[in-house]
Amino acid sequence: MTNEEIKQSVSALFPGVTYDETGEFLTILISPAELRPVMKALRFNKEYNFDFLFCLTCIDWKTHLMMVYHLLSRKHKHNIVVKAKIADIVNPEIETICDIWQTANFHEREVYDLFGVKFINHPDMRRLLLDENWDGYPLRKNYVDENMISI
């Protein structure tokens, strides 16, 4: 499927989404509330068949957090990116997708560990890489650590 076809059929199902085609892959911008319906449609609809989630991460833009999901369809050989903007930076929350793609389990724990985003209904919401009683979320831009030596 080409980018145009994907845009048309996704807009038919979810009229509120917007698109960004400046990068290498087609980017779909959604709100956190419609994350699960959009992801389920992309995964299970036969015409999309995006069965491979290859990158799940978060970017801290200081005024908001942006969750980024990279998807690949092995059947149609097509890549897209889905982005969801989280406006609340004090207590960020979004729903989990680890029952749709099982790889999201570890990735979401890592995002919680380093950014502090809580995933609702995640089966095991604990820190992954840092110690359990570590203070703070290191990859946030406002992270302060007196043990860190900066150039």
In the complex, the residues that contact another protein under the rule CB under 8 A are 22-25, 51-55, 57, 59-60, 68, 70, 74, 77, 101-103, 105-107, 127-131, 138-139, 143, 145, 147-151
Cα–Cα distance, 99 to 14 (Å, whole number): 21
Q: Considering beta carbons, is residue 8 or 45 the nearer one to another protein?
A: 45
Q: Considering beta carbons, is residue 70 or 118 the nearer one to another protein?
A: 70
Q: Considering beta carbons, is residue 48 or 101 the nearer one to another protein?
A: 101
Cα–Cα distance, 114 to 58 (Å, whole number): 9
Cβ 126 to another protein shortest distance, Å: 8
Q: Considering beta carbons, is residue 15 or 133 the nearer one to another protein?
A: 133
Residue 130 CB coordination number (10 Å): 14
Cβ 83 to another protein shortest distance, Å: 10
Cβ 143 to another protein shortest distance, Å: 8
Give kind and range of the element (H or E) at residue 38: helix 35-44
Cα–Cα distance, 56 to 21 (Å, whole number): 19
Q: Are 72 and 47 in contact (CB under 8 A)?
A: no
Judge residue 70's burial from the number of C-beta atoms within 10 Å of its C-beta, 0-12 exposed, 13-18 middle, 19 or more buried: middle
Cβ 15 to another protein shortest distance, Å: 26
